[in-house]
Amino acid sequence: MIHISATDRVFVLTGAGVSAESGIPTFRGAGGLWRNYRIEEVASPYAWQRDPRLVWEFYSMRRRAASAARPNPGHHALAKLEESLQDRFSLCTQNVDDLHEQAGSRRVVHMHGELFKSRCDRCRRAPFDDTETYEPPRDVPRCHCGGHIRPHICWFGEVPYDLDKIADALDQSTVFIAVGTSGLVEPAASFVARVRGRARTIYVGPEEPANNFAFSDCYWGKAGELLPQIFRCD
Protein backbone atom coordinates (compact mmCIF):
# COMPACT_ATOMS: atom_id res chain seq x y z
CA MET A 1 0.00 0.00 0.00
CA ILE A 2 1.19 3.50 -0.83
CA HIS A 3 0.00 5.63 2.03
CA ILE A 4 -0.60 9.27 1.08
CA SER A 5 -1.04 11.69 3.95
CA ALA A 6 -2.99 14.96 3.92
CA THR A 7 0.22 16.96 3.43
CA ASP A 8 1.92 14.79 0.81
CA ARG A 9 2.50 16.08 -2.68
CA VAL A 10 2.62 13.36 -5.30
CA PHE A 11 4.58 13.40 -8.54
CA VAL A 12 3.84 10.57 -10.98
CA LEU A 13 6.06 9.79 -13.97
CA THR A 14 4.58 7.38 -16.51
CA GLY A 15 6.19 5.58 -19.43
CA ALA A 16 5.07 3.36 -22.27
CA GLY A 17 4.24 0.55 -19.80
CA VAL A 18 1.12 2.32 -18.54
CA SER A 19 -0.36 2.19 -22.05
CA ALA A 20 0.74 -1.39 -22.82
CA GLU A 21 -2.50 -2.89 -21.50
CA SER A 22 -4.41 -0.52 -23.80
CA GLY A 23 -2.74 -2.19 -26.77
CA ILE A 24 -0.09 0.43 -27.54
CA PRO A 25 3.22 -1.42 -27.79
CA THR A 26 6.11 -0.26 -25.61
CA PHE A 27 9.23 1.06 -27.25
CA ARG A 28 11.31 -2.02 -26.75
CA GLY A 29 8.29 -4.31 -27.05
CA ALA A 30 8.03 -3.27 -30.69
CA GLY A 31 11.68 -4.25 -31.12
CA GLY A 32 12.57 -0.58 -31.61
CA LEU A 33 12.06 -1.20 -35.32
CA TRP A 34 9.58 0.01 -37.88
CA ARG A 35 9.68 -1.36 -41.42
CA ASN A 36 13.37 -2.14 -40.89
CA TYR A 37 14.13 1.40 -39.81
CA ARG A 38 15.44 2.07 -36.35
CA ILE A 39 13.08 4.38 -34.46
CA GLU A 40 15.83 7.04 -34.43
CA GLU A 41 15.77 7.05 -38.22
CA VAL A 42 12.12 8.10 -38.41
CA ALA A 43 12.01 10.16 -35.20
CA SER A 44 14.85 12.66 -35.36
CA PRO A 45 15.52 16.11 -36.86
CA TYR A 46 17.86 14.34 -39.27
CA ALA A 47 15.05 12.09 -40.49
CA TRP A 48 12.77 15.11 -40.94
CA GLN A 49 15.38 16.84 -43.05
CA ARG A 50 16.12 13.78 -45.11
CA ASP A 51 12.65 12.37 -45.72
CA PRO A 52 9.68 14.23 -44.17
CA ARG A 53 7.16 12.06 -46.06
CA LEU A 54 8.55 8.96 -44.40
CA VAL A 55 8.36 10.66 -41.01
CA TRP A 56 4.70 11.50 -41.63
CA GLU A 57 4.04 7.96 -42.78
CA PHE A 58 5.41 6.71 -39.46
CA TYR A 59 3.40 9.18 -37.36
CA SER A 60 0.26 8.60 -39.43
CA MET A 61 0.58 4.91 -38.59
CA ARG A 62 1.02 5.75 -34.91
CA ARG A 63 -1.99 8.13 -34.98
CA ARG A 64 -4.13 5.39 -36.45
CA ALA A 65 -3.00 2.83 -33.88
CA ALA A 66 -3.50 5.20 -30.96
CA SER A 67 -6.90 6.48 -32.07
CA ALA A 68 -8.44 3.07 -31.41
CA ALA A 69 -6.90 2.77 -27.92
CA ARG A 70 -8.85 3.35 -24.74
CA PRO A 71 -7.56 3.98 -21.21
CA ASN A 72 -7.08 0.98 -18.93
CA PRO A 73 -7.66 0.71 -15.15
CA GLY A 74 -4.14 2.10 -14.54
CA HIS A 75 -4.97 5.39 -16.28
CA HIS A 76 -8.30 5.53 -14.46
CA ALA A 77 -6.65 4.94 -11.06
CA LEU A 78 -4.28 7.89 -11.64
CA ALA A 79 -7.19 10.14 -12.66
CA LYS A 80 -9.01 9.11 -9.48
CA LEU A 81 -5.93 9.87 -7.36
CA GLU A 82 -5.75 13.34 -8.92
CA GLU A 83 -9.44 13.80 -8.14
CA SER A 84 -8.69 13.31 -4.41
CA LEU A 85 -5.39 15.22 -4.26
CA GLN A 86 -6.16 18.05 -6.70
CA ASP A 87 -3.21 20.50 -6.67
CA ARG A 88 -1.12 18.16 -4.54
CA PHE A 89 -0.85 15.89 -7.59
CA SER A 90 1.12 16.21 -10.80
CA LEU A 91 1.52 13.80 -13.66
CA CYS A 92 4.37 13.85 -16.13
CA THR A 93 4.15 11.38 -18.97
CA GLN A 94 6.71 10.31 -21.55
CA ASN A 95 3.82 8.95 -23.59
CA VAL A 96 2.54 10.80 -26.60
CA ASP A 97 -0.87 9.14 -26.59
CA ASP A 98 -3.85 10.87 -24.92
CA LEU A 99 -5.00 8.01 -22.70
CA HIS A 100 -4.39 9.91 -19.44
CA GLU A 101 -6.64 12.72 -20.70
CA GLN A 102 -9.24 10.23 -21.92
CA ALA A 103 -9.31 8.75 -18.41
CA GLY A 104 -9.98 12.21 -16.95
CA SER A 105 -6.52 13.38 -15.84
CA ARG A 106 -6.24 17.16 -16.07
CA ARG A 107 -2.80 18.05 -14.71
CA VAL A 108 -0.78 16.24 -17.38
CA VAL A 109 2.58 17.36 -18.74
CA HIS A 110 3.61 15.62 -21.99
CA MET A 111 7.37 16.00 -21.86
CA HIS A 112 7.83 14.17 -25.18
CA GLY A 113 4.95 15.86 -26.98
CA GLU A 114 1.55 14.72 -28.16
CA LEU A 115 0.69 12.45 -31.03
CA PHE A 116 -2.51 14.34 -31.83
CA LYS A 117 -0.85 17.73 -32.14
CA SER A 118 1.23 19.26 -34.92
CA ARG A 119 3.28 22.41 -35.26
CA CYS A 120 5.19 24.43 -37.85
CA ASP A 121 8.88 23.65 -38.29
CA ARG A 122 9.61 27.30 -39.04
CA CYS A 123 7.39 29.87 -37.28
CA ARG A 124 6.42 30.23 -33.63
CA ARG A 125 2.74 29.40 -34.10
CA ALA A 126 1.53 27.32 -31.12
CA PRO A 127 1.09 23.55 -31.52
CA PHE A 128 -2.47 22.77 -32.62
CA ASP A 129 -4.84 19.77 -32.43
CA ASP A 130 -4.43 17.52 -35.46
CA THR A 131 -5.82 14.03 -35.91
CA GLU A 132 -5.17 13.87 -39.68
CA THR A 133 -2.96 11.31 -41.36
CA TYR A 134 -0.53 12.45 -44.03
CA GLU A 135 0.59 9.56 -46.13
CA PRO A 136 1.63 9.39 -49.76
CA PRO A 137 0.14 10.48 -52.15
CA ARG A 138 -0.64 13.35 -49.73
CA ASP A 139 2.09 15.94 -49.55
CA VAL A 140 3.74 17.08 -46.37
CA PRO A 141 1.35 19.77 -45.06
CA ARG A 142 2.45 23.39 -45.12
CA CYS A 143 1.96 26.30 -42.76
CA HIS A 144 0.75 29.69 -44.06
CA CYS A 145 4.30 30.97 -43.40
CA GLY A 146 5.69 28.52 -45.97
CA GLY A 147 7.21 26.18 -43.37
CA HIS A 148 6.30 22.52 -43.10
CA ILE A 149 3.90 21.11 -40.52
CA ARG A 150 5.59 18.47 -38.37
CA PRO A 151 4.38 16.22 -35.53
CA HIS A 152 4.50 17.90 -32.09
CA ILE A 153 6.87 15.24 -30.80
CA CYS A 154 10.18 15.55 -29.02
CA TRP A 155 12.48 13.59 -31.31
CA PHE A 156 15.80 11.99 -30.49
CA GLY A 157 18.30 14.81 -30.10
CA GLU A 158 15.64 17.43 -29.17
CA VAL A 159 15.01 18.98 -25.77
CA PRO A 160 11.91 17.72 -23.90
CA TYR A 161 9.10 20.19 -23.19
CA ASP A 162 8.17 21.92 -19.92
CA LEU A 163 11.33 20.97 -18.03
CA ASP A 164 11.06 24.05 -15.75
CA LYS A 165 7.53 23.21 -14.78
CA ILE A 166 8.56 19.60 -14.17
CA ALA A 167 11.52 20.65 -12.00
CA ASP A 168 9.23 22.82 -9.83
CA ALA A 169 6.78 19.97 -9.33
CA LEU A 170 9.61 17.54 -8.55
CA ASP A 171 11.09 19.91 -5.96
CA GLN A 172 7.76 20.22 -4.18
CA SER A 173 6.99 16.51 -4.15
CA THR A 174 7.15 14.25 -1.10
CA VAL A 175 6.14 11.08 -2.96
CA PHE A 176 7.60 10.18 -6.36
CA ILE A 177 6.00 7.30 -8.27
CA ALA A 178 7.36 6.00 -11.59
CA VAL A 179 5.10 3.66 -13.55
CA GLY A 180 6.06 1.47 -16.53
CA THR A 181 9.23 3.23 -17.60
CA SER A 182 12.51 1.48 -18.32
CA GLY A 183 14.72 4.13 -16.66
CA LEU A 184 16.86 4.35 -19.79
CA VAL A 185 15.62 7.52 -21.47
CA GLU A 186 17.10 10.77 -20.16
CA PRO A 187 16.30 13.21 -18.66
CA ALA A 188 13.23 11.38 -17.26
CA ALA A 189 15.42 8.57 -15.92
CA SER A 190 17.16 11.05 -13.59
CA PHE A 191 14.02 12.58 -12.03
CA VAL A 192 14.11 9.99 -9.26
CA ALA A 193 17.71 10.91 -8.36
CA ARG A 194 16.67 14.55 -8.00
CA VAL A 195 14.05 13.82 -5.32
CA ARG A 196 15.66 10.83 -3.63
CA GLY A 197 16.59 11.43 0.00
CA ARG A 198 13.82 14.00 0.35
CA ALA A 199 10.82 12.14 -1.10
CA ARG A 200 9.65 8.54 -0.95
CA THR A 201 10.51 6.94 -4.30
CA ILE A 202 8.29 4.17 -5.64
CA TYR A 203 8.38 2.07 -8.81
CA VAL A 204 5.40 0.22 -10.31
CA GLY A 205 5.92 -2.20 -13.21
CA PRO A 206 6.65 -5.83 -14.09
CA GLU A 207 10.44 -5.55 -14.52
CA GLU A 208 13.35 -3.88 -12.77
CA PRO A 209 14.08 -0.50 -14.37
CA ALA A 210 17.70 0.45 -15.15
CA ASN A 211 17.64 3.04 -12.33
CA ASN A 212 16.18 0.58 -9.81
CA PHE A 213 18.76 1.47 -7.12
CA ALA A 214 17.14 4.88 -6.65
CA PHE A 215 13.74 3.54 -5.57
CA SER A 216 12.89 2.87 -1.94
CA ASP A 217 9.81 0.73 -2.73
CA CYS A 218 8.89 -1.36 -5.75
CA TYR A 219 5.59 -2.97 -6.70
CA TRP A 220 6.17 -5.64 -9.31
CA GLY A 221 3.28 -6.20 -11.70
CA LYS A 222 1.10 -4.62 -14.35
CA ALA A 223 0.00 -1.02 -13.97
CA GLY A 224 -3.61 -1.87 -14.79
CA GLU A 225 -3.73 -4.47 -12.03
CA LEU A 226 -1.70 -2.72 -9.30
CA LEU A 227 -2.62 0.97 -9.56
CA PRO A 228 -6.36 0.51 -8.83
CA GLN A 229 -5.55 -1.05 -5.46
CA ILE A 230 -2.33 0.41 -4.04
CA PHE A 231 -3.23 3.97 -2.99
CA ARG A 232 -4.53 4.82 0.47
CA CYS A 233 -5.24 8.50 0.96
CA ASP A 234 -5.95 10.19 4.31
CA–CA separation, 142 and 119 (whole Å): 10
Q: 149: buried, middle or exposed (CB in 10 Å: 19+, 13-18, 0-12)?
A: buried
Q: Select the residue interacting with ligand NAD from 2, 4, 13, 19 (CB under 6 A).
A: 19
Q: Which stretch binds Zn ion (CB under 5 A): 9-17, 42-50, 135-143, 223-231?
A: 135-143
- Residue placing its CB nearer to ligand NAD in the complex, 88 or 94: 94
- Residue placing its CB nearer to Zn ion in the complex, 53 or 122: 122
Instruction: Say what angle helices 73-85 and 223-230 make with each other, to 10 degrees.
Output: 30
- Binder of residue 21, out of ligand NAD, Zn ion, none (CB less than 5 to 8 A by kind): ligand NAD
Counting contacts by CB under 6 A, is residue 152 touching ligand NAD?
A: no
- Residue placing its CB nearer to ligand NAD in the complex, 2 or 24: 24
Other C-beta atoms lying within 10 Å of the C-beta of residue 190: 11
112 as an active site residue: the answer is yes
Counting contacts by CB under 6 A, is residue 181 touching ligand NAD?
A: yes
By CB under 6 A, name the binding residues for ligand NAD: 15-21, 24, 26-28, 94-97, 112, 180-182, 184-185, 205-207, 209, 222-223
